[in-house]
Structure 1
Amino acid sequence: MDTTKEAARMNRSRRAPQQEIVQHRRRLRPVLAALAAALVAVGAPAASAATTTAWATWTPLTGEAGSFTATMTLAGQPALTADITSDSRAGQVGVISGASTWLSEGTPIGEKYGSSRDQPYLNLRPRADSATSPSTTTYTFAAPTPSSGWAFALGDIDADSVRISGVSAAGDPLTADDLGFQGGFNYCAPGTAGKPSCTGDPDDVPMWDPASLTLMGNASASDTSGSAAWFEPAVPIVSLTFEFTQRSGFPVYQTWFASMARDITGTVRDVNTGVLDGVDVSLTDSNGTVIATTTTSGGGQYSFPGYFATDGYEVTATPPPGKTGVVTTGAADLRTQDAVVDLTVRDKASLFGTVTTAGDGTPGVAVTASGPDGVLTTTTDGDGNYAFPLIGDGTYEITITVPEGTVAVSPTTRTETVSGDDLSGVDFELARLGSVAGAVTDDAGAPIGGVTLTVDGPGGALSVITGVDGRYLIDELPPGDYVISVVAPDGTAVEGPSSRKVTITASGEAVIDQDFVLVADDVTAPPDDPDGPGKGGSGNDPLPTTGADSTPLLAGGVIALICGGALLLFARRRAV
C-alpha cells in the first residue's frame, strides 16, 4: 500500500473517534425512535427471532515492538475472547476504528456478516521490513470456538504473504478444510456497494495455496489497495496463527473477525396439565458445557437469544417442584436458522409384572432390574405382583430368583425397553416340582429291599434303590411325562407290568402307590423217557441201565429231589 496514503488514513483514524460517536448517535436516533414506537404498540418486548451479525471488539494494542498484546472478543452468546500476542514491528500498528477503511456490504463477507464500517480491526506489520523477517501473531481462545457461525478476513495482502496455521480443539494441526477458505475479493474495487473511498482493481485478489496454507498477494508484488480474503473455520479451534511476510512495498495488513448469532426458543408443557411456568431450562453446547440457564414464563415460554450460529446445542428442563418426572431433551442447530425446541415434562415411566406358579401368584420372589441407573431390587407381593415405579426410560434386564421347590417354565431373565409410557406385563411363570413313590414286594406282600428302579423323563433317566422296607421315592421332578421301570434281581421275575407311566403337571403332584411285585423263577424236573428205563428208546432215560434193579434208586432219587426243592423254596422265602 502507498506510504503517503496509509499515513493520511492513519491521521484520519486519529481524528475519527469523536466524529464517529456523533455520527453513530445520529444514525441510532431513528432506529431508537422506531423501536420505542414498536414497544408502545405491543405493550411488551417481542422475543427476538432474527439472525444477528456483529464484528469483533478489541482492547488497545499494548507493549512494544516485538512484544505486543491485545484481546479480541467475538460477539455472540456466550462471548468468546482470544488473547493476542504479536512480534510485529512498531509503526502504524494498533486497533483502527474502521471509519476510513472497512469491508462493505458489497463484499462477499459483508453480504453475510454485514458492513464493518465504524467497526474496529487490527493493523500489524512484519517483524522487520524484509522478506526474511515475518511477524508471528497468535490468537489463543479462552474456549474452543464454534464449528461454524464466525469468520475472519485479512486485508491489504497485495505485495505480501500470510501463512495461516492453528490447532483444533482435538489438538490437531488445522488443515485447509478446517480453515474454510471462502475466496478472495478487493474491498476497494469500483462498483462495490458501500465501499470506502479507496480505489482497487477487482482482479487484484490474493491467491490461496491449500498445500502450504499460504495467502499470496498479486504476482507482481505490487503495493496496491483492497486485496483481501476471508475464511469460515469448520472445526472448533483453540489457537490461530498468522505469519506475515513482506515481499515488497510498505507492508501493513488488516485483520477482522465477525460472528453470526441466532435464537433458541420454545415452550415447556406437562403432558397432563399443559404449559408450565417457573421451570428451569438449561442450554448446553457441543462440548457438554452448560452455557446458559433461564426460567419459563408467560405460558411456559423460554428464550436463549443471540447464540453462535452453530450446531450441537441441547436444551434441557429441570422437573418443577412436586414433579418426580423427566423431560425431553431437545437438540438445537443454529447453522441455517433459529431453532424452536419444545420440551415435554412427564412422570417417569414405571415397569410392572407378575410371577405365577401353576397359574397362581407367587409371593416373596426376588426381582432385580439392571439398567442405566444400576441394579434395582424388589419382591413380589401376596398376589405375585411386583413394580419398579418411576424407573425411567432405558433398556433393562429383569431377573427373578427361582424359589426352592419350583422350576422356571419361562426364561428367568427378560430384556425390556422403557420408552415414555409405563411398561406392564413383564411376567414370569414357575412350576412346582413333583415326586413319584411306591414299593416293591413279593407275591405274599413281603417288602424286597435293594431293588433298582429307573425313572425316565424330560431331564433324562434317574435311578433309585428300594430301602429295607421295600419303598422308593424320587422327588424334585419338573413337569412332564415319566416312565418308571423296575429291574428284577437274578432269580426273580416281575409279576405284572414292569413299567408305569405317570405325568407331573405345573402343580407338582406327589404321585404315590407306583408299586411292583416280584416272584421267584419256576424250577422244572427233567422229563421221563417215554419208553421207560432201560428200553433203549430215545436215549433220554434218567438213569443208565446197569443190569441191577433200579427201582430203589429211583425211589430214593425222587424223594431227594422233592426234599431238595422244598428246602430251596424255604431258603429263598426265608431270605426274602
Structure 2
Amino acid sequence: MRRLGLFALTLVVLVGLGLPAAQAVRTTGYADWEPLAGASNDYTTSMELPVAGFPAAAVASDSRSGSVGVQSGSSVFFGPGTPVGAKYGSSLNRPYLNLRPKADNATAPSTTTYTFATPTPPTGWAFVLGDIDADAVTISAKDASGAPVTAAELGFAGGFNLCDFGTPRPAGCSASVGDVPTWDAGTRTLTGNPGATDTFGATGWFEPTVALSTLTLSFTRRSGFPVYQTWFAAVARTISGTVTDLGLPVPCPVTGVTVRLVGPNGEDLGTTTPDATGAYSFGQRATQPGYVVSIEPPATCIALSARTQTVSTAAADATADFLVRAIIPQPVSGKVTAGGTPLAGVTVTLHSVGGPKSTTTAADGSYLFDNNPANEDYFVTIDVPDGYTGTDQLPNFDIVATPITGQDFALTADPNVSGKVTGGGSGLGGVTVTLTPTAGPPLTTVTAGDGTYRFDRVPAGTYDITIDTPAGFTPAASRNDVTVNTQDVPDQDFALVRPGALGGTVHLGTPTGEVRGGVTITVDGPGGPRTLTTDADGNYFLDGLAAGTYEIRIAVPDGFDGVGGVVRTVTITAQGEIRSGQDFVIAAETTTTPTPTPEPEPEPTEPGGGVLPDTGSPVSRPLLLLGFGLLGAGLAAVGISRRRPTRA
C-alpha cells in the first residue's frame, strides 16, 4: 500500500442518531489515543471516545515495527461524501492508529485486540476496514458474556473505495480507483483484489448488532509491505426529563432533587439537579438501551411515581419524568445495604391492615413510604436479590404520632471468585473465563485489559475454572475443584506461555540489495534442528518456538560467498519474543585471472652459437663526466672563433 494509501483502516464508529428536533444539532466525535508503547511485536495503547457512556478500550498488538503509531489524520481521512463520512462526519485531522502484520509474509498475521472496559452499546455503532487490496483482515469478537460473535452479528454493511466520493479527498486520490474488497462471511474475512495488487482506498465497513466485550483484527500480508489504520468514532443522543412538584400539601423544592444516571453495565455516570422549572438533562450519551435514571428527593419530599426508570437512546432521545410532593405524615423509611454498600433497585413492601404497598430503593439504598395512618402491626419485607443472603422481614411496629425510621436491611453478598490471566508475564485482556459448578449452568466472564477477571456473588459450592486460550499461546490446565464457602476466593490465576518466533531475509550483495529465494536456512535449538527455505521474496519465518537459545545458519548456495557471517544466534524467553530481522547477505564469488610471466630475451651470440666476449671493462662515472666537460669546452671555443671580425 502506498504511504498515504496504506489504508487498511479499522473504524469503529458509534452510532447515536441525533438530538431533540428543537436543537437540530448532531454531535459526533472521533477517538483519542495514547501514544503507542512497547516495542516491535509487543505494542500497547488505549483508546477513548469523547462521547459519554461509550467504554474506553485497552489495545494490545503483536504488529511488527516500522511506520506504526498514532497518526494525525491530516492526509488520510474520511471525506463527507464517503458512506462513513456522510453518516458520522469527516475524520479530517482526527487521529488514527497505524499497525502492520507480525512479519512480512503470508503466514504471520498480526493480532490486535481491543478489550473494552465494559461491553459496547449493542446497536448503532460500526467499524470500517480500508485500503484492503494486497492484504486481508479476519475479524472476531466476543459478546458481553464472552461468547463468540457470529458473522451476521458483526453486521457487514458493504464496501466502497475511499477515492470515489467528491472532495476533499485524501492526498493520493488524484483519480477514482474503484477497487473494492470482498467479504466472506464463512471465514469472517475481508480480502483485497484477486491479484493482491497495491491500489488505494479499498474499504469495507460493519455495524454490529450485539454488545461487544472484545474486538480482534487479524491482519495478513498477501504481497508488498502493508500498513493498516484504525479509527473509532461516535454519535450521541440526549437523556433528559422533568421533575414536577404536585404542591400538596405544601410545595416541594424541585431544585433540591438529585437525579442520578447509571449506565447499562452498572457504571455511575453522574448526577444533576433540575432547574427552577424542574427540567434536567444529562446531555449527549452513547446510543444504547439500559440507562437507569433515578431521583433522590430532599428529606421533606417523596417520589409519587417510580423513583427509578430504565430508558434507551438506541432509537431516539430518552426522556424520564418524575412526580414529587411533600411528605404526608406518617412516613416509614430505611435503607438496604450489603457490607455497608447501598443496594439500589431492591423491591421493598410495607404491610399494614390497609394492605401492602411497594417501592424500590434509590441509588443510596434508601426507601420511604408516607401517608400512613396511626395503626398497629405494620411490618416491612424485601425481595432479597440473587447473590445475596439475609433477613427478608423486619419485626412489627406501630405508628402513633411520629415518623418511623431505621427500618434497615443488612444483607451479605455471596463470595467473589477472581484471578488474572497472563501471557509471558503480561496481563491478557479479552480472554473468556468459565466457572462451572458441579450442578447447574456455567457462568462466563471476560478478562479486563490488564488480564484480571471476577465472578461476583457466587453461591457456595464446588467449581471448575477454565479459559479459552488465545491464539498464539500454549493452552493452560484448568483449575478444578475450587471450593466456595463464605469468603472470597482470589488468586485463581492462569499463566500462559507464548511461543516465540524468528525470521529474516536473504539479500544479494548488500543488506538492502535484491532478495534471494530458495536458500536453505537451518534453525537449531530446543526441539532440535529445523530446515527452512526462503520464499520468492527472500524471507524465512519460524514460529511456535519454546524459550531457549537458537542458532540460525544459512547454507550459502554454490557460486556465492557469505558476507558478514553465515551464523546468527538469538534467545527467546517466556515472553515469546519475535526475533525478526535475522538477515543474511550473500554475494557472487569473485574469480582472479593470473598475470602471465614474460619470457626472458636471449643474449646475443656469435655465428656458430657462441656468446660474444666482453670487449672492455665498464667506464667509470667520473671519466664520463670529464669527457663530456672537455667536449663542451671545445664546442664553445669553436663558436667564439667564428664570431671574430675579418681583417681588411
TM-score per shorter chain, which class? 0.5 to 0.7
User: Residues 330 and 6 of structure 1: is their aligned pair in 2 closer, same or farther, counting only changes over 3 Å?
Assistant: closer
Which residue pairs with 1:533 in the alignment?
A: none
Q: CA deviation at 1:369?
A: 7.0
1:114 aligns with 2:89: yes
> CA–CA distance in 1 between the matches of 2:302 and 2:319?
26
1:2 aligns with 2:37: no
1:284 aligns with 2:283: no
1:198 aligns with 2:169: no
1:330 aligns with 2:309: yes
1:147 aligns with 2:122: yes
Q: Hey, which of these two has a bigger chunk of helix by percent?
A: 1
**In the TM superposition, what are the counterparts of 1:28-47 in structure 2 within 5 Å?**
none
Which residue pairs with 1:497 in the alignment?
A: none
> CA–CA distance in 1 between the matches of 2:106 and 2:236?
40
Amino acid at match of 2:96: Y
Which residue pairs with 1:136 in the alignment?
A: 111
Give the SS at the match of 1:101. coil
Give the SS at the match of 1:126. coil
User: Residues 325 and 351 of structure 1: is their aligned pair in 2 closer, same or farther, counting only changes over 3 Å?
Assistant: farther
Q: CA deviation at 1:275?
A: 6.9
Which residue pairs with 1:417 in the alignment?
A: none
Q: CA RMSD in A?
A: 3.6
Which residue pairs with 1:86 in the alignment?
A: 61
Q: CA deviation at 1:139?
A: 1.3
Q: CA deviation at 1:326?
A: 5.5
1:339 aligns with 2:312: no
> CA–CA distance in 2 between the matches of 1:57 and 1:100?
17
Conserved? CA contact 2:5–2:201, under 8 Å: no
Conserved? CA contact 2:184–2:190, under 8 Å: yes
Q: CA deviation at 1:377?
A: 6.3
Structure 2 portions without partners, runs of 5+? 8-21, 333-349, 356-374, 385-391, 408-648
> CA–CA distance in 2 between the matches of 1:368 and 1:80?
43
Which residue pairs with 1:95 in the alignment?
A: 70
Which residue pairs with 1:253 in the alignment?
A: 228
Conserved? CA contact 1:55–1:258, under 8 Å: yes
Give the SS at the match of 2:86. helix
Q: CA deviation at 1:232?
A: 2.3
> CA–CA distance in 2 between the matches of 1:184 and 1:354?
66
Conserved? CA contact 2:351–2:380, under 8 Å: no
Which residue pairs with 1:67 in the alignment?
A: 42
Q: CA deviation at 1:336?
A: 2.9
2:198 aligns with one of 202, 214, 223: 223
**In the TM superposition, what are the counterparts of 1:405-554 in structure 2 within 5 Å?**
none
Q: CA deviation at 1:100?
A: 0.7
Conserved? CA contact 1:106–1:193, under 8 Å: yes
Amino acid at match of 2:320: V
Which residue pairs with 1:317 in the alignment?
A: 295
User: Residues 295 and 49 of structure 1: is their aligned pair in 2 closer, same or farther, counting only changes over 3 Å?
Assistant: farther
Which residue pairs with 1:398 in the alignment?
A: none
Conserved? CA contact 1:50–1:263, under 8 Å: no
Give the SS at the match of 2:56. strand
User: Residues 48 and 82 of structure 1: is their aligned pair in 2 closer, same or farther, counting only changes over 3 Å?
Assistant: farther
Give the SS at the match of 2:301. coil
> CA–CA distance in 1 between the matches of 2:376 and 2:227?
82
Amino acid at match of 1:196: P
2:156 aligns with one of 181, 186, 194: 181
Amino acid at match of 2:258: D
1:300 aligns with 2:292: no
Q: CA deviation at 1:289?
A: 2.9
Q: CA deviation at 1:315?
A: 0.9
Deviations 1:399-429 (A, max 9, x none): xxxxxxxxxxxxxxxxxxxxxxxxxxxxxxx
Which residue pairs with 1:168 in the alignment?
A: 143
Q: CA deviation at 1:330?
A: 2.7
User: Residues 354 and 244 of structure 1: is their aligned pair in 2 closer, same or farther, counting only changes over 3 Å?
Assistant: closer
Conserved? CA contact 1:188–1:197, under 8 Å: no
Deviations 1:178-221 (A, max 9, x none): 322222111112x4343224336564211111221111111221
> CA–CA distance in 1 between the matches of 2:189 and 2:112?
15
Q: CA deviation at 1:149?
A: 3.9
Q: CA deviation at 1:137?
A: 1.1
Q: CA deviation at 1:353?
A: 4.2
Give the SS at the match of 1:83. strand
Amino acid at match of 2:190: L
Between the aligned residues of both structures, percent identity stands at: 45
Give the SS at the match of 1:188. helix
> CA–CA distance in 2 between the matches of 1:82 and 1:116?
20
Amino acid at match of 1:184: G
Structure 1 portions without partners, runs of 5+? 10-46, 356-363, 393-576
> CA–CA distance in 1 between the matches of 2:206 and 2:267?
26
**Structure 1 stretch 318-327 or stretch 297-306: which is displaced more?**
318-327
Amino acid at match of 2:323: T
User: Residues 260 and 248 of structure 1: is their aligned pair in 2 closer, same or farther, counting only changes over 3 Å?
Assistant: same
Conserved? CA contact 1:149–1:261, under 8 Å: no
Q: CA deviation at 1:322?
A: 1.5
Deviations 1:540-563 (A, max 9, x none): xxxxxxxxxxxxxxxxxxxxxxxx
Amino acid at match of 2:169: K
> CA–CA distance in 1 between the matches of 2:31 and 2:180?
24
Deviations 1:444-466 (A, max 9, x none): xxxxxxxxxxxxxxxxxxxxxxx
User: Residues 283 and 49 of structure 1: is their aligned pair in 2 closer, same or farther, counting only changes over 3 Å?
Assistant: farther
Deviations 1:512-537 (A, max 9, x none): xxxxxxxxxxxxxxxxxxxxxxxxxx
Q: From the CA coordinates, give the structure whose radius of gyration is larger.
A: 1
> CA–CA distance in 2 between the matches of 1:235 and 1:379?
49
Conserved? CA contact 2:352–2:377, under 8 Å: no
User: Residues 225 and 113 of structure 1: is their aligned pair in 2 closer, same or farther, counting only changes over 3 Å?
Assistant: same
**Structure 1 stretch 335-344 or stretch 88-97: which is displaced more?**
335-344
> CA–CA distance in 2 between the matches of 1:110 and 1:324?
48
Amino acid at match of 2:170: P
Conserved? CA contact 1:319–1:326, under 8 Å: no
> CA–CA distance in 2 between the matches of 1:369 and 1:309?
39
Q: How many residues align?
A: 342
User: Residues 389 and 135 of structure 1: is their aligned pair in 2 closer, same or farther, counting only changes over 3 Å?
Assistant: same
Give the SS at the match of 1:71. strand
Q: CA deviation at 1:151?
A: 2.6
Amino acid at match of 2:281: S
Q: CA deviation at 1:78?
A: 3.8
Q: CA deviation at 1:60?
A: 1.7
TM-score normalised by length of structure 1: 0.53
Amino acid at match of 2:162: Y
> CA–CA distance in 2 between the matches of 1:380 and 1:292?
38
User: Residues 311 and 376 of structure 1: is their aligned pair in 2 closer, same or farther, counting only changes over 3 Å?
Assistant: same
Q: CA deviation at 1:257?
A: 1.0
> CA–CA distance in 1 between the matches of 2:258 and 2:376?
41
Conserved? CA contact 2:54–2:121, under 8 Å: no
**Structure 1 stretch 254-263 or stretch 343-352: which is displaced more?**
343-352
Give the SS at the match of 1:80. coil
Q: CA deviation at 1:224?
A: 0.6
TM-score normalised by length of structure 2: 0.48
> CA–CA distance in 2 between the matches of 1:371 and 1:112?
48
Amino acid at match of 2:146: G
Give the SS at the match of 1:68. strand
> CA–CA distance in 1 between the matches of 2:257 and 2:240?
14
